[in-house]
A and B are shown apart, each in its own frame.
Chain A
Amino acid sequence: MNINFTLFSQAMAFAIFIWFTVKFVWPPLMRAIENRQKTIADGLAAGERGKQELELASHRSADVVREAKQRAADIVAQAEKRAAEIVEEAKNVARDEGSRILVGAKAEVEQEVFRARETLRQHVADLALAGAAKILHREVDAKTHADLLASIKTEL
């Protein structure tokens, strides 16, 4: 146990080493460690945010899908309604057209009937004239007996 000058030299060496560590060793490494901690914390936060955004996006996509389904169903329903309307309209148009055709046909038939009756009457008059001529054995001058013939025709 002999205390001597070594004590002071060691103390000086100690002071120099403390100074060196304080100045050159501790701060750079602490900076590096703190930067890394910050990077890791940022990464974790970003991951968390990403997860939240994913959740939000999946909610949103579910909403969009539901909406789209809803709209598709609406469109189908509308289309069905429209189709039923078109069919109904077509039926109405067809019915009107049919009745119009029917009316036209009826008029035509009546006309035909009238015409046929006229023709028939002509024929009958001719026949009656021919019969009368035979009965009288002579030719009836259509011109001279036109009055007679016309009266007969109207009676028929």
Chain B
Amino acid sequence: MASGTELTPTSYMSHHLTNLTSSLGEGAFWTLHVDTLAMSILLGVISFGFLWWVVRGATSGVPGKRQAFVELAIEFIDEQVKSTFHGDRHKFVAPTALTVFVWVLMMNAMDLLPIDIMAAVYEVLGLHNWRSVPTTDINTTFALALSVWLLMIFFNIKVKGLGGWIHELVCTPFGKNPILWPVNILFNVVEYVSKPLSHSLRLYGNIYAGEIIFLLIGMWAATGLAGTLFGTLLGAGWAIFHILIITLQAFIFMMLTVVYLSMAHESH
């Protein structure tokens, strides 16, 4: 709800899709989306703080309901990792998968907060532009995907050695014959470029589209009482469906992370 000026669909949409920015230096790159960073860190601190709090009091005897819930989540992820990654998963890959799943799920779940009510709350707090869903910011999804990409390269070099990795880049998937080297390199470059792109854009696109649809449904309120009620029903339906999307996208993001990391561990 842009205060002051007349409310048009365009201003409504752009109000909800504008980040609170802070400039750190010259040029467009040195800006910081304060809302994205603050929300993601807040959610991370809450969820991992919760996990830490539960785990610190964890007993190997009969678990309480809280511990059982956390164990359920962790064992679910551990199962997924176990079926994909063959190695010492407890050292890094499984906890990373847990981090990715929990954090992305929490950030996605912010999408279920009613946008206009939250906007009013943020307005009271003096935050005119404030986007609560960090995963609708491409910076977040790229940050995650590129971190995973760097980890992938790190593990490639760590497991196979620099020479082994270069050998793999040059000689797979088509073969060792020098004639095939350019094709192999091209293929691998495309793969290495497409991995972080598809990884991040899939999550970003799904959640961003979900938010846009919430905004479009929200605009029914401009058409009167009947439209508001209709919009309410639509919004409820979309929110229920969106529970599936946010969970599924968090799960897919986690699974891709695990798959990429385990591919980095395996030589061809």
Q: Please report the C-alpha to C-alpha distance between residue A103 and residue B74 in the assembled complex, in whole angstroms.
A: 111
A26 in contact with B48 given A10-B139, A11-B146 (CB within 8 Å): no
* Listed A/B pairs (24) with beta-carbon separation below 8 Å: A3-B29, A4-B28, A6-B32, A9-B37, A9-B143, A11-B144, A11-B146, A13-B37, A13-B143, A14-B103, A17-B99, A17-B103, A18-B95, A21-B99, A25-B51, A25-B52, A26-B94, A29-B55, A29-B58, A30-B78, A31-B60, A32-B58, A33-B74, A39-B61
B67, B70, B92, B140 interface centre (most CB from chain A within 10 Å) = B140
Question: Are B58 and A26 within 8 A (Cβ)?
Answer: no
**Which residue of B24, B61, B96, B143 is within 8 Å of A36 (Cβ)?**
B61
Interface presence of A154 (CB below 8 A): no
Question: Is A7's CB within 8 Å of the partner chain B?
Answer: yes
Q: On chain A, which size bracket covers the interface?
A: 20 to 34
Cα(A8)–Cα(B24), bound, Å: 13
Which A residues lie within 8 Å of B266 (CB)?
A: none
Kindly list chain A residues whose C-beta atoms are within 8 Å of the C-beta of B143: 6-11, 13-14
Query: A109 CA to B99 CA in the complex, in Å?
Result: 129
- Set of chain A residues within 8 Å of B71, measured between Cβ atoms: 29, 33
Q: Is the CB of B51 within 8 A of A7?
A: no
Q: Which single member of A1, A15, A32, A34 contacts B147 (CB below 8 Å)?
A: A15
Interface 1/0 per residue, A99-131 and B, CB below 8 Å: 000000000000000000000000000000000
Q: Tell me, rounded to whole Å, the shortest Cβ–Cβ distance linking B51 to chain A.
A: 5
* B40: contacting residue among A5, A13, A18, A24, CB under 8 A: A13
